[in-house]
Structure 1
Amino acid sequence: MGDTNRICTLGDYSKLSHEGYRNTIELPVRNNVVPLRSDTIRLVQNGCSFHGLWSEDPNQHLKDFLKLVDSLDLDGASRERTRLCLFPFSLRDQASNWLERLLT
């Protein structure tokens, strides 16, 4: 019989845990994985951030995001995967929180 009421120490709370975490965007399963460079991520973050404010147009954000990502030199096979990987980096504040809550 195991102890179901195990006492947690301060060290237990300080450990990083990714248990139960799932990405809200499902990536296609393929072998054409293109690693994202940090400068590409910064380009998306600085070039087309969407905060989810009432004054922002989500459709315009998508147009700007696609224009920016499509300007990168990508082959057709990895373009969709790269778009899906980069999209969460374009969201900030309320919009980022909204994306994270989609699974719950």
Structure 2
Amino acid sequence: MDINPGNSQLPTHPAPQTMYDYAKPTLIGVESSIVGPIIAKNNFEIKSNTIQKVQQYVQFDGLQDEDSNAHLAHFLEICNTFNINSVIDDAISLRLFPFSLRNKAK
């Protein structure tokens, strides 16, 4: 065994990781599985009063005592009250849904 004090090629060990580090979800390099439908209409716009209606009446915080199924049912009920010609309902719902979330759920 040759020991050369000038040679600094000692093996380096990475910092130890806990089980939490291995199980922790990461979104780096992951694409969203939610893809909005293509809208043929060029002037598609959700009015600000519609967004305000969702923000005012259909908010979900993600708390334990909140019912996510009831939130979705109420959200869809609001979405079904209006129609935009040449735009499918899913396109409208997918664009409005983030406005129904706040705090932990966002």
Counterpart amino acid of 1:31? A
- Residue by residue over 1:3-57, the C-alpha shift from the partner in whole angstroms, topping out at 9 and shown as x without a partner, is xxxxxxxxxxxxxxxxxxx878421123135201111100001111000000100
Structure having the higher Rg: 2
Distance 1:75 1:55 in 2: 38
Give 2:80's aligned residue.
70
Distance 2:40 2:57 in 1: 29
Does the CA-based 8 Å contact 2:59-2:101 persist in structure 1? yes
Structure 2 residue runs without a partner (length 5+) = 1-30
Alignment of 1:85-96 (within 5 A): 85-96=95-106
Q: Give the TM-score normalised by structure 2.
A: 0.62
RMSD (CA atoms): 2.1
Counterpart amino acid of 2:101? L
Does the CA-based 8 Å contact 1:32-1:78 persist in structure 2? no
Q: Give the TM-score normalised by structure 1.
A: 0.63
Structure 1 residue runs without a partner (length 5+) = 1-21, 97-104
Query: By percentage of residues, which structure has more helix?
Result: 1
Q: How many residues align?
A: 75
Q: Does 1:50 align with 2:60?
A: yes
Distance 2:93 2:86 in 1: 11
Match of 1:30 among 32, 35, 39: 39
